[in-house]
Structure formats: structure tokens, C-alpha cells
Amino acid sequence: MRWSAFPVLILLALGFSGCATMTQGECLSGNWLRVGYQDGAAGHPPSRLGNHEAACAAHGVGVDPQAYFDGRERGLVEYCTPWGGFNAGRNGRTYHGVCAYESEGAFLTGYTDGRHVHEADQYASRARSDVSSLESRIRRLQRDIDRLRGRMESAESSDDRKALAAELQALRGELRQAERSLVQARREHDLAERELQRVRYLLEPRYHGGW
């Protein structure tokens, strides 16, 4: 049994479809068992089929819900494991409550561990970005100061030199502040990297797989 396009019109009217989840080629291939398996292995909720239906309706193609949900159940067997949970958490994915009671406990243990890695990695990434941004700002300020000094040397009036001197003083103040911020940012970066290494050291033996 294949669904007609009629329900899709209602879903579209409600704004349910969102971004297209399948290409025309994927819709035309009609391999709904494979699509369901991939969605299950990725932890997508059952409502994902509605998004596929909306995407394929644009190409005049219906869906096969029986094949889709058969495949999805097989994919969930792979997803609802400690490693599946860890991988989902580590990559910052949302858990949609798709695992059965019997497997959810083990999945959530892995998911919590993965979230620890994700948060430590995000912390380190933000700290690296802060250091890089401040280093770039300091280089820019130093270039501005050098250019301003050159303008002062060629200034034709004392009023121009005074105005440029005031501007130079302000830039030097900004530079000193940026240098102080950089010292703090580097400390924060060192802390973040140590935390990431600590979390990885604790969890790598538990979750093998080259992550």
C-alpha cells in the first residue's frame, strides 16, 4: 500500500515539510527499506517519514510506509546501543526518545558520555577561537599604530600632530587591553585543552572506534 499525495498538501499547508529531506533521484529509486534503515540508524523520529513524503510529493512520488518502518526498526537496533548513544552525544545530536525501554538505558549511558566529550570539545574550540581572534586583533592594532606613526611624522601642523597623538594614545590603550585579554584567553585555552584530554583519556578505553 502506498500513500497518496493528498495528505502531503495538508502537511505543506501546516508548514510541516521544512527543508527537502530527499532528492528527486532518491524519491524515484523507491528504496524505502534503505531510507528507513538509514533514518533509524541516525535516530530520527517516526515523523521523519512525513518530511520524506512532502519532499517526494514535489516529484509526484508516494512513499511505502511499511517498507520504511521495517527498515527503520532494523536501523534502530544499530542506533540504540551504548556506542550509538555515545556517537550521537559526541556529535551534538538530539535524542528523540526513539529507543525501546529495554535498550534505552544503555543508549543513554553512552549518550551522556558522548555529551561530555561534545561539551569539552566545544569548550576547547571556543577557547581556540577566542585566542585566534585576539591575536588577529592585536596584529591589526599594531599595523594601525605603525601607520599612524607614519602619518604623525608627515603631519604639516601641530594641530594635526595633536589629533593624531590622541588617536595613537587611544590605539595603544586598545592594544594593551587586547594583550591582557589574550593572556587570559590563553589561560582559558590551556584549561579547556586539559579538560578535553582528561575526558578523552577517561572515555576512549570504553568506546573504541577511532574517534
Per-residue pLDDT of the chain (211 residues; tens, 9 = 90+): 333 333 333 333 333 344 688 899 989 988 999 999 999 999 999 999 999 999 999 999 999 999 999 999 999 999 999 999 999 999 999 999 999 999 999 999 999 999 999 999 999 999 999 999 999 999 999 999 999 998 888 888 888 888 999 999 999 999 999 999 999 999 999 999 999 999 999 999 999 866 6
Task: Report pLDDT for 37.
Answer: 97
DSSP assignment of the chain: ----SHHHHHHHHTT---S--S-HHHHHH--HHHHHHHHHHTT--TTHHHHHHHHHHTTT----HHHHHHHHHHHHHHHSSHHHHHHHHHTTPPP-S-S-HHHHHHHHHHHHHHHHHHHHHHHHHHHHHHHHHHHHHHHHHHHHHHHHHHHHHT--SHHHHHHHHHHHHHHHHHHHHHHHHHHHHHHHHHHHHHHHHHHHHHHTTTS-S--
Is the whole model's pTM more than 0.75, yes or no?
Answer: yes
Task: Report pLDDT for 21.
Answer: 86
Task: Report pLDDT for 158.
Answer: 87
Task: Report pLDDT for 83.
Answer: 95
